[in-house]
Structure 1
Amino acid sequence: MSTPAAVILGHLQTVEHERRVRAASPALHARVQAIKSYQQRRFAHTYSDLLATPRYGAAARFFLDELYGPSDFSQRDAQFARVVPALVRLFPRDVVETVGTLAALHALSEQLDSAMAGQLAGEKVDAGTYVDAWRGTGRAAERARQVALTLEVGEDLDRLTRKPLLRHSLRMMRGPARAAGLSALQGFLESGFDTFLAMRGAQEFLGTVSAREHALLNALFDAQDADGTQALVQLP
């Protein structure tokens, strides 16, 4: 049976493999970056109403900055991979499980980004080429899992906010985390915890994300929606 550390390391190795493949092909790398940039614009467009609300704006921004977009996390991931055993040893089990879900999402997202980039004829990504790229991959089940993992990260963070002692524990972890090279992860966890705590319940937020992402998923891969649905029409 795989240990939590081995599972997390496996996901990080998948991410590193995707990066090596892209490094060997500048054209593929450029197309992946174009996909990532469009996906960040798509999320900002789809959730512009949530981003503008006092209650949900910070959580939507957290998803936008941490789970979408073209940010380069290679240095963070390399540091992370070196200290996974320390992570498992130092952090509470609930936190380790959340990190495991995040790592699984990270790995799957990188694989899907590469697959989509392989469907592009060039570096231009708009609503039409984005839809064609998704449909060209034929990976509806994996897109559904990507949505499920995204929601699971949010649900985990929301659940952790209901454990009053955990926030204190996270504060106490700052020194050991810094010494172990886990400052970036520590910052992510504290930011996520505080953001979801401030919402005073994430059920409506996560329900909205689930409804919109599943509507887009169905529009992308359901043959009956080939001529376009409201979810596709609203793509930026």
Structure 2
Amino acid sequence: MSEHTKQIIRHLHGVKTMQDIAQKGGWLQRIRRLQAWQCQRLMISHQTSYANEKFKPAITFFVNELYGPKDFSQRDKDIARVVNKLSTVVPDKALQTLATALQLYELSFELDFEMVKKLSDQDLNRARYLEAYRACNNSHGRQQQIYLIEVLGNHLAEVVKIRGISALLLLSRKPAKYAGLDALHTFVSDGFKAFKGIGKVEDFILPIVYHEQRLMKLMFAPNQPNPLPDV
């Protein structure tokens, strides 16, 4: 078993464990509401990138397929079913990219779970969000989250350049459907399509990373005005 395969299994197990704990503790729906609010914030903060036709699919993919309140359980089950066979049919770089995506997914859920415990059960707004964000006091985790966004963006840009990857995705569509792996195939295909026409990846990812790092520093800085946009 390759190291990337082990990482994929570990991240899937980590997310599943946290989701089960959140479900049993009555936290899961509150986490979903938090994720929905944060997705709106991300779209407002990065509306310039979203308005760029080259970048719009990538922004949408990050928000809808890697982070948001969507139920990813079927996709995760698909990955768990075939993960031991993936290394025989997909390039190592693609496995590495999937491992990074799941690492970001796991870390984001962990940060959200921690944050809902600091939030009251009132309607979420920018003031309550900032108060809970600061109360978590987890700047290292937040910095790691932003770093993984940059790493994943670069990995995805490299994967779409792999020779034959487009044909592989096209040829595997029907077999994936017959095998009950629609959710996984859709996730991979959407990621490929989103980054295929992005051009120079630095032009897309660096402004996002710079903005999120600056926002994070302002949010953790004491006695600073609230830097969040109205959501």
User: TM exceeds 0.5?
Assistant: yes
Q: Which residue of 1 aligns with 2:229?
A: 234
User: Bigger shift: 180-189 or 28-37?
Assistant: 180-189
CA contact (8 A) 1:76 1:184 kept: yes
1:99-124 CA distances to partner (integer Å, 9 max, x unpaired)?
Answer: 00011111111111100011011142
CA contact (8 A) 2:50 2:56 kept: yes
User: Bigger shift: 211-220 or 1-10?
Assistant: 1-10
1:109-161 CA distances to partner (integer Å, 9 max, x unpaired)?
Answer: 11111000110111421111111121111111111111111221111111122
Say yes or no: does 1:22 pair with 2:19: no
Q: Which residue of 2 aligns with 1:49?
A: 48
User: Within 2, Cα distance between the matches of 1:17 and 1:199?
Assistant: 35
Q: Which residue of 1 aligns with 2:124?
A: 125
1:170-199 CA distances to partner (integer Å, 9 max, x unpaired)?
Answer: 333335544554432222222222221212
Secondary structure at the aligned position of 2:164 is classed as helix
CA contact (8 A) 1:83 1:182 kept: no
Q: Which residue of 2 aligns with 1:194?
A: 193
User: Within 1, Cα distance between the matches of 2:58 and 2:6?
Assistant: 30
Runs of 5+ unmatched residues, structure 1: none
Amino acid in the other structure paired with 2:11: H
Runs of 5+ unmatched residues, structure 2: none
User: Bigger shift: 58-67 or 183-192?
Assistant: 183-192
Say yes or no: does 1:82 pair with 2:81: yes
User: Bigger shift: 75-84 or 94-103?
Assistant: 75-84
Q: 1:75 to 1:163 in 2, by over 3 A?
A: closer
Measured on the aligned residues, the alpha-carbon RMSD in Å equals: 2.0
Amino acid in the other structure paired with 1:42: R
Listed as ranges, the matches of 1:60-209 within 5 Å are: 60-178=59-177, 181-209=180-208
Higher relative contact order (CA 8 A, sep 6+): 2
State the TM-score, normalized to the length of structure 2.
0.90
Amino acid in the other structure paired with 1:76: R
Listed as ranges, the matches of 1:211-226 within 5 Å are: 211-223=210-222, 226=223
Amino acid in the other structure paired with 2:171: M
Amino acid in the other structure paired with 2:225: G
CA contact (8 A) 1:30 1:123 kept: no
* Number of aligned residue pairs: 231
CA contact (8 A) 1:31 1:123 kept: no
CA contact (8 A) 2:115 2:132 kept: yes
Give the deviation of 1:165 after TM superposition.
2.6
User: Within 2, Cα distance between the matches of 1:123 and 1:102?
Assistant: 31
CA contact (8 A) 1:83 1:181 kept: no
Q: 1:214 to 1:235 in 2, by over 3 A?
A: farther
Q: 1:91 to 1:167 in 2, by over 3 A?
A: same
CA contact (8 A) 2:78 2:183 kept: no
User: Within 2, Cα distance between the matches of 1:79 and 1:62?
Assistant: 19
User: Within 1, Cα distance between the matches of 2:84 and 2:146?
Assistant: 28
Q: 1:22 to 1:119 in 2, by over 3 A?
A: same
User: Bigger shift: 214-223 or 38-47?
Assistant: 214-223
User: Within 2, Cα distance between the matches of 1:88 and 1:183?
Assistant: 19
Secondary structure at the aligned position of 1:68 is classed as coil
User: Within 1, Cα distance between the matches of 2:156 and 2:116?
Assistant: 31
